[in-house]
Structure 1
Amino acid sequence: MTASAAPLAIALGDPAGIGPEVILGAWARLRAGCRAPPVFVVGGPGLLAACAERLGIDCPIVPIADPSEALYASAAGLPVLALLDGPYQPAAPSPDGARLALASLQWATKCALAGASCAIVTAPVAKSALAAIGWDYPGQTEYLADACGKPYRDAVMMLAGPSLRTVPLTVHVALAEVPALLSAELVSHKARIVAAALSRDFGIAQPRLAIAALNPHAGEGGQFGDEEARIIAPAIAALRAEGIEAFGPVPGDALFTPRARETYDAALAMYHDQALIPIKALEVDEGVNVTLGLPIIRTSPDHGTAFDIAGQGIADPGAMTAAIVMAAEMAAARARA
């Protein structure tokens, strides 16, 4: 990793979940391996110190007043912006905890937009807890798009791991609604964003995009549906005419075999589970949620708050570690571009 001029900002997530412990665990793991990029956590110095003490995580907390102090503070421990705090109460979600999570996300976003951080890494939040305090976004991705002045459709979710990258073209909707939401324009619009991001943020000069079919056997010549011929194939033709190396529609049951995965840099899936099942099966401890199409970089571990195991010291920090490393690598790639 090449250090960026500005540090990474890490948003706390819901403090009652596993966010605090995986943040601490990831930083301790990276520091022990001499791979820790400059970072700071947005808020929670007392909370994180209490978590480290309770779980026996070797991670000294260094309160800072400004992101610019993070580089020097990291020599002594994990820098934490001391503008927000709260008690450490694992497995006990509350409105105050949701407010702390939201404030941390808001401040982290402001830091990224102002150039005080080179990227945001977000710990998991509980969408229901945020909704209960009046937050009206479907998730952190939509909030970030709005904060960046972008329409939701331009914020593309990609799930990434060491051996696979997948992009769901439709996300949190009922499966029955998916066919009506698909269009050639949707497929081509999101594919363009993915191709541009793979080039700019991942250093892939000519990204290869595999486009999944919607129906079994890619529709079997129209016997199982016509979306492949009517929607997906025309979108692929349009992308190829623009110089984007896209191919398909590839049947979903053939798209994620070891041999198939060697032929593309990202797979675009038609619906949520078509994209997330393979990434979670293959990259369960290293999966990263990456938001593409925004002027700022955002990554997140591909898991939830896990309230049921919070505070027990058994949460694996692997995905948070991977999210931090990927954010740093993306920031370095943008700096080189």
Structure 2
Amino acid sequence: MKFEWKGVMPAITTKFTEKDTLDMPMFLKNIEAQIEAGVSGIVLGGSLGEASTLTREEKKVLIRETLGAANGKIPVVMTIAEQTTATAIEVARESQEAGADGLMVLPPMRYKSTDLETVTYFKDIASQTDLPIMIYNNPVDYKIEVTVKMFQELMEMENIGAVKESTRDIINIGRLRNQFGNDLKILTGVDPLALESLLAGVDGWVAGLVCAFPRETVAIYKLAKAGRAQEALEIYRWFLPLLELDISPQLVQNIKLAEVATGIGTEYVRKPRLPLQGNERQRVLKVIEDSLKTRPELPDYKNLTTMA
């Protein structure tokens, strides 16, 4: 399998049982739905995957089981989101030993590092693994921006080759592309800016609502990359109320409710998260229910010829 940072890569949710253990049957049901829809990779253990609540042993289980389901067809990427460099390196090594194909690395957690500290952190991790690395650039949620200047230093590392671009600044896609050309692969990480980002030339989409709607997500990507922007736009406009559920502090609960509605997930979250309550729960359920009533028919997107 040739590893490429491109296509739709679900930031998959972690499924739990009512007893707060991993729900592997439902997790694998979702993975199978993603693969059938035509995703290009699976990203495990991100913020949507409730990474901060997972034990290291649970992460190994998720990698092993996902690799088994993927069966070499698509890469499996593990997220590194740790408080210390030493722990991040240990998790990176464990992920490689468990069979992960790549890593998505977040900046230091719970500490607003300086530019130098951030670059050093990323380079220290990259120097201790052979796996390809995608940097997660999300200053909105993590208060640390990885700038073009910082990427110039990071690109000195042979295995740092991609960015999950979540600044919510479409102009930044052009900045990165103008500076690095195709040497740095760019994947959008903001669901309700996905089509705009694809038309601006990103290579892929690390998606959230794909967890509940894999076929629609891949169809938008394929249509956009095949030059059929109007058809992609029609699906995207239908999808937008759902996609906006991804840019919320309760994105995990929102997306898990959507997974329940489409039959490929459960609502259980791990504390301190709690299921949605009251008016907010009803609002999110209405968005999901209204969208399901008008769910579009999709073209034969799997057989489209896409541009690079």
Please give the TM-score of this superposition, normalised by the length of structure 1: 0.30
More helix by share: 2
Q: Which has the larger radius of gyration?
A: 1
TM (norm. structure 2) is: 0.32
Q: Could you say which structure has the greater relative contact order, defined with CA pairs below 8 angstroms and 6 or more residues apart? A: 1
More strand by share: 1
